[in-house]
A and B are shown apart, each in its own frame.
Chain A
Amino acid sequence: MSRPNPALALLRNSWRQLTSMRTALILLFLLAVAAIPGSLLPQRDVNIENVDAYFAANPRLAPVLDRLGMFDVFASTWFAAIYLLLFTSLVGCIVPRLREHVRALRAAPPAAPRRLDRLPQHARWTTAGDTAAGDAPAPAVTRDAIAVELRRRRWRVTVTDDSVAAEKGHLKETGNLVFHLSLIGVLLGVAVGSWFGWNGNRLLVAGPDTAFCNTVQQYDEYRLGPRISDGDLPRFCLELTDFTATFLETGQPASYSAEVRVDADGGAGRSETFSVNSPLRLDGANVYLLGHGYVPVLRYTDRYGQAQTVSAPFLAVDGMLTSEGVASFPDANVDPTTGERDPQLQVAFEGLFLPSAPQQPPYVRSTHPELRDPAVMLWAYRGNLGLDAGIPGSVYQIDQRQVEAGRLLPVGDPQLLRVGETMTLDDGTTIEFLDISQYVTLSVRHDPGSGLLLASSAALLLGLMPALFGRRRRVWFRVTPAGPDAASTTPGSSLVEAGGLPRTDHPGFGDEFRELIRALGGDAGPREGRH
């Protein structure tokens, strides 16, 4: 084969290009730049409501951005392309270096160069022989003695016929490789968590009737990893038995604590307490407390005297837990004798709940988040609630389309009720404010990649230190019998020549070298000072 295959050559060149440091640097910066839109634009993964709001505010621009993946930056193809290329480049760079490093670790330090005085650090001195008996003679230094001293200082040493070669600081490259390999571990941890993990969010009202069990149907929203199906979810049920929140006088929250009854698959029910910052760790799932709110319990008695009770979770609209919600009674006014239901006689109440109602009107804002003087302001509506139309609507708001179309009409004036009080509508039906319950919002999550993620992060950090602060360096010593021209003419004296070479930027190497020479009985000149 006289000419190399052009396709192969192109491939080889591209690979070289990709694994070059220059490309890696460019990819790193691309990665940083690519992350910026993820913070400037709302992200579906972070806050879907903000994305919807952005669509509403920018109806022309948003779809274009959406097609570019700008609302899912960190899950987008182009973001993945950058980091996958970067990791390919990293692997391409690391694997040869790993091979090289393993070889270097097993190889003996290289033999001494011929001219040690050409090295950045150099020293020579003569030692006295065995017969030396003068005052303070330099001790005889043999190659073995040098090797012993170097080994004591944890150098890797080889002794050859006339010289000693030693090397130190392989830990730097080890750390470097550990750091880069653990980055791959981090990526794998994220990938495993995404493929085999699942999570769901759910609002849980206190009480045994509103307990929930861990199936996807029972979540308000959920995400299953591509390798997970509904059947893989661990079986357990949760019932909120108690929730306590304490607040400062200013209304700032001081503590939250939720108590639940856990019925795990096959086991007996047990009581558990958890709070913000200390999640409930169950087998195969963690339960996190994300939020809380109040649940007015309302009883509506219809034209036929039939009573229905609704526990309606209200959503907080401010820090004082002023909350809004709706209590709907779609089955109100069903004739008990015929079982017939009049779709024009459904009833709903729009409510504003004030945990601490102000002393006098306007009753629009709570004065404190605690239940100091709880009251609910109710607006009654009668007509068709539009629940049968099959159009999804918020359970916290009256369907305004029905109101605008005149199918749902307001009834009378709003009224402020305290617990135990009753409001009577124009047709004689009544709504009674029975009680106040609480709810919590929970996130239930399973992330099988988190262990790998944590271990890789720890390894990353451990590798980073020696990679940054480690220093590779070599020293050589050559011991020769002193010639007749040597200054010391004592028989048996020898000439020691030493050289040192820092392999990486190491401003302190000079000092270390001189210290070493001094320990071996030589003189390497004055100390240069500290670095």
Chain B
Amino acid sequence: MSALSDQLLVVAIFAYLLAMICHAVEAGFGTRRTAAATLPDRELAAVAAAGTGGGPTQPAPGSDLTGPAIYKTTGTGSERTGWAGVGLAGWFAASATVLGALFHLACLVTRGVAAERLPWGNMYEYMLAITFVGVAAWLVMVYRRPSLRPLGLFVALVMVALLGMAGLVFYTPITPLVPALESYWYAIHVSTIMASSGLLLLGSIPAAMFLLRSGYEQGRRRFPYPLAKRVPAAASLERLTFGLHAIGFPIFTFAVIAGAIWAEHAWSRPWAWDPKETWAFISWVIYAGYLHARATPSVRRTTVTWIAILGFLTMLMNLIGVNYFFESLHSYA
């Protein structure tokens, strides 16, 4: 069962890789011709009005993230919302991502069955689990807002990178839990930390794309900016970034509180400034700063989004850095 789980990981990585390639094909070659062929009249009109291949145009007022009936005319104008006009490559990309997520889940489940416990006992399993939370949240999002589809390239890229890293660097054979982890708080604390980390890590993708896209919309064409040529409008990305962080932050807060309650049970004090706790504190403060900055009209949205990126870096530091550089009570892996 353990070997099966390891093989499933490889299959999942290949599926994400395939998704990445399909997304890249879709983005690179475009689907304008096929798209135009399948476009309803209204859409054609919208595309024509926007000027095919013209410069970036603003979406209709109030249309950001509004779903199927609004025709986004950003980028080259080939991008539409709704699944109706998606080309073959797009369908392949989406199916490959779903397939990857299924293998990913199967990998986690078989690992859990083999270990006879929740598969969150070490760094390797933890990485598998948070990336799964990320990809599941992504699938829900893209199902509800198909206009986000071009971001899939970056999601798949992140998946391949993180899962590859998990398999190559963090791989750990199955071991049972140490007594310190034998508590129901283990399920509560670790699952919520993972859910929030997954959401906050996923939130960093639209955040980074927003920074690129807003530069692109301001007419910047030097290297990193053209990457954002086909992604949704900056305002949508910004709102999506906020949405993911707004969901992730309370879960993260709950997870930290649950961790404190558990720490009181196990280590006698709710908060001991263990490096993991210190970095969780830092992340929490940074994300609180992000939410406050976003609620302050005088702070520019690019500045706000940089704070979210900073928060992401502190999370990454906590997930990986702390386990390797510091001696921590949280070192079980």
Most chain A CB atoms below 10 A, which of B273, B281, B298, B314: B273
Q: Which of A39, A276, A468 contacts B266 (CB 8 A)?
A: A276
B67 A530 Cβ-Cβ under 8 A: yes
B289 A531 Cβ-Cβ under 8 A: no
Q: Which of B70, B267, B286 contacts A529 (CB 8 A)?
A: B70
User: In the complex, what residues of B have CB within 8 A of residue A450's CB?
Assistant: 264, 270
**Interface residue SS majority, chain B:** helix
With both beta carbons as reference points, the residue of chain A lying nearest to B321 in the complex is identified as A39
Whole-angstrom distance between the Cβ of A102 and the nearest chain B Cβ = 21
Bound complex: CA of A453 vs CA of B272, how far in Å?
A: 14
User: In the complex, what residues of A have CB within 8 A of residue B250's CB?
Assistant: 461, 464-465, 468
User: In the complex, what residues of A have CB within 8 A of residue B298's CB?
Assistant: 21-22
Whole-angstrom distance between the Cβ of A400 and the nearest chain B Cβ = 26
Instruction: Determine whether A323 belongs to the interface, using a CB cutoff of 8 Å to chain B.
Output: no
B253 A28 Cβ-Cβ under 8 A: no
User: In the complex, what residues of A have CB within 8 A of residue B144's CB?
Assistant: 530
User: In the complex, what residues of B have CB within 8 A of residue A22's CB?
Assistant: 296, 298
Bound complex: CA of A531 vs CA of B66, how far in Å?
A: 5
Interface residue ranges of B254-312 to A (CB < 8 Å): 254, 257, 260-262, 264-275, 278-279, 281-282, 285-286, 288-289, 291-293, 296, 298-299
User: In the complex, what residues of B have CB within 8 A of residue A468's CB?
Assistant: 246, 249-250, 291
B264 A277 Cβ-Cβ under 8 A: no
A530 B273 Cβ-Cβ under 8 A: no
User: In the complex, what residues of A have CB within 8 A of residue B66's CB?
Assistant: 507, 528-531
A39 B292 Cβ-Cβ under 8 A: no
A32 B282 Cβ-Cβ under 8 A: yes
Most chain A CB atoms below 10 A, which of B274, B289, B298, B322: B289
User: In the complex, what residues of B have CB within 8 A of residue A250's CB?
Assistant: 175
A443 B265 Cβ-Cβ under 8 A: no
Given A43-B273, A275-B179, A461-B257, also A32-B286 (CB < 8 A): yes
Whole-angstrom distance between the Cβ of A41 and the nearest chain B Cβ = 10
Bound complex: CA of A253 vs CA of B180, how far in Å?
A: 9
User: In the complex, what residues of A have CB within 8 A of residue B299's CB?
Assistant: 25
Instruction: Determine whether B155 belongs to the interface, using a CB cutoff of 8 Å to chain A.
Output: no
User: In the complex, what residues of A have CB within 8 A of residue B62's CB?
Assistant: 510, 528
Most chain A CB atoms below 10 A, which of B70, B262, B271: B271
Instruction: Determine whether B7 belongs to the interface, using a CB cutoff of 8 Å to chain A.
Output: no
B322 A460 Cβ-Cβ under 8 A: no
Given A528-B62, A529-B68, also A29-B265 (CB < 8 A): no
Instruction: Determine whether A149 belongs to the interface, using a CB cutoff of 8 Å to chain B.
Output: no
Given A253-B179, A277-B183, also A46-B273 (CB < 8 A): yes
Instruction: Determine whether B326 belongs to the interface, using a CB cutoff of 8 Å to chain A.
Output: yes
Instruction: Determine whether A38 belongs to the interface, using a CB cutoff of 8 Å to chain B.
Output: yes
B70 A454 Cβ-Cβ under 8 A: no
Whole-angstrom distance between the Cβ of A445 and the nearest chain B Cβ = 5
Instruction: Determine whether A78 belongs to the interface, using a CB cutoff of 8 Å to chain B.
Output: no
User: In the complex, what residues of B have CB within 8 A of residue A510's CB?
Assistant: 62
Bound complex: CA of A528 vs CA of B282, how far in Å?
A: 40
Whole-angstrom distance between the Cβ of A457 and the nearest chain B Cβ = 5
Instruction: Determine whether A492 belongs to the interface, using a CB cutoff of 8 Å to chain B.
Output: no
Instruction: Determine whether A47 belongs to the interface, using a CB cutoff of 8 Å to chain B.
Output: yes
User: In the complex, what residues of B have CB within 8 A of residue A457's CB?
Assistant: 257, 260
Interface residue ranges of B217-254 to A (CB < 8 Å): 239, 246, 249-250, 253-254
Bound complex: CA of A31 vs CA of B322, how far in Å?
A: 19
Given A21-B296, A469-B246, A529-B66, also A279-B268 (CB < 8 A): yes
User: In the complex, what residues of B have CB within 8 A of residue A389's CB?
Assistant: none
Instruction: Determine whether A415 belongs to the interface, using a CB cutoff of 8 Å to chain B.
Output: no
Number of interface residues of A (CB under 8 A): 57
User: In the complex, what residues of B have CB within 8 A of residue A461's CB?
Assistant: 250, 253-254, 257
With both beta carbons as reference points, the residue of chain A lying nearest to B184 in the complex is identified as A277
B288 A28 Cβ-Cβ under 8 A: yes
Bound complex: CA of A278 vs CA of B278, how far in Å?
A: 25
* Residue interface mask A25-62, B partner, CB < 8 A = 1: 10011011001101100010111001000000000000
Whole-angstrom distance between the Cβ of B115 and the nearest chain A Cβ = 13
Bound complex: CA of A331 vs CA of B239, how far in Å?
A: 78
User: In the complex, what residues of A have CB within 8 A of residue B322's CB?
Assistant: 39
Whole-angstrom distance between the Cβ of B181 and the nearest chain A Cβ = 8
Instruction: Determine whether A65 belongs to the interface, using a CB cutoff of 8 Å to chain B.
Output: no
User: In the complex, what residues of A have CB within 8 A of residue B264's CB?
Assistant: 450
User: In the complex, what residues of A have CB within 8 A of residue B135's CB?
Assistant: none
User: In the complex, what residues of A have CB within 8 A of residue B70's CB?
Assistant: 528-529
Q: Which of A21, A277, A447 contacts B269 (CB 8 A)?
A: A447
Bound complex: CA of A526 vs CA of B327, how far in Å?
A: 60
User: In the complex, what residues of B have CB within 8 A of residue A275's CB?
Assistant: 179
Instruction: Determine whether B65 belongs to the interface, using a CB cutoff of 8 Å to chain A.
Output: yes
B254 A47 Cβ-Cβ under 8 A: no
Bound complex: CA of A502 vs CA of B57, how far in Å?
A: 26
User: In the complex, what residues of B have CB within 8 A of residue A31's CB?
Assistant: 285
Bound complex: CA of A190 vs CA of B269, how far in Å?
A: 11
Instruction: Determine whether A74 belongs to the interface, using a CB cutoff of 8 Å to chain B.
Output: yes
Instruction: Determine whether B178 belongs to the interface, using a CB cutoff of 8 Å to chain A.
Output: yes
Instruction: Determine whether B182 belongs to the interface, using a CB cutoff of 8 Å to chain A.
Output: yes
B269 A28 Cβ-Cβ under 8 A: no
B273 A74 Cβ-Cβ under 8 A: yes
With both beta carbons as reference points, the residue of chain A lying nearest to B285 in the complex is identified as A32
Q: Which of B175, B249, B289, B314 contacts A25 (CB 8 A)?
A: B289
Whole-angstrom distance between the Cβ of B287 and the nearest chain A Cβ = 10
With both beta carbons as reference points, the residue of chain B lying nearest to A447 in the complex is identified as B269
Most chain B CB atoms below 10 A, which of A32, A253, A527, A528: A32
With both beta carbons as reference points, the residue of chain A lying nearest to B286 in the complex is identified as A32
B286 A453 Cβ-Cβ under 8 A: no
User: In the complex, what residues of B have CB within 8 A of residue A32's CB?
Assistant: 281-282, 285-286, 289, 314
Instruction: Determine whether B54 belongs to the interface, using a CB cutoff of 8 Å to chain A.
Output: no
Given A45-B273, A279-B268, also A255-B179 (CB < 8 A): yes
* Residue interface mask A450-492, B partner, CB < 8 A = 1: 1001100110110011001100000000000000000000000
With both beta carbons as reference points, the residue of chain B lying nearest to A30 in the complex is identified as B285
A254 B179 Cβ-Cβ under 8 A: yes
Instruction: Determine whether A252 belongs to the interface, using a CB cutoff of 8 Å to chain B.
Output: yes
Instruction: Determine whether A256 belongs to the interface, using a CB cutoff of 8 Å to chain B.
Output: yes
Interface residue ranges of B6-22 to A (CB < 8 Å): none
With both beta carbons as reference points, the residue of chain A lying nearest to B246 in the complex is identified as A468
Whole-angstrom distance between the Cβ of A86 and the nearest chain B Cβ = 10
User: In the complex, what residues of B have CB within 8 A of residue A47's CB?
Assistant: 327
Bound complex: CA of A454 vs CA of B176, how far in Å?
A: 31
User: In the complex, what residues of B have CB within 8 A of residue A507's CB?
Assistant: 64-66, 239
B292 A21 Cβ-Cβ under 8 A: yes
User: In the complex, what residues of B have CB within 8 A of residue A74's CB?
Assistant: 273
A445 B179 Cβ-Cβ under 8 A: no
With both beta carbons as reference points, the residue of chain B lying nearest to A250 in the complex is identified as B175
Bound complex: CA of A530 vs CA of B65, how far in Å?
A: 8
Bound complex: CA of A450 vs CA of B268, how far in Å?
A: 11
- Sorted nearest first, the 9 A-B pairs with minimum C-beta distance are A529-B67, A288-B268, A39-B278, A277-B183, A39-B275, A28-B289, A32-B285, A443-B268, A529-B66
20 contacts between A and B (CB under 8 A): A25-B292, A28-B285, A36-B282, A38-B278, A45-B272, A45-B273, A46-B273, A74-B273, A277-B180, A277-B266, A278-B265, A279-B265, A445-B269, A447-B269, A453-B270, A461-B250, A461-B253, A464-B250, A464-B253, A468-B250
Apart from A450-B270, A460-B253, A507-B66, what are 9 other A-B pairs with CB-CB below 8 Å?
A21-B292, A22-B296, A35-B281, A199-B269, A275-B179, A279-B268, A288-B268, A529-B67, A530-B144
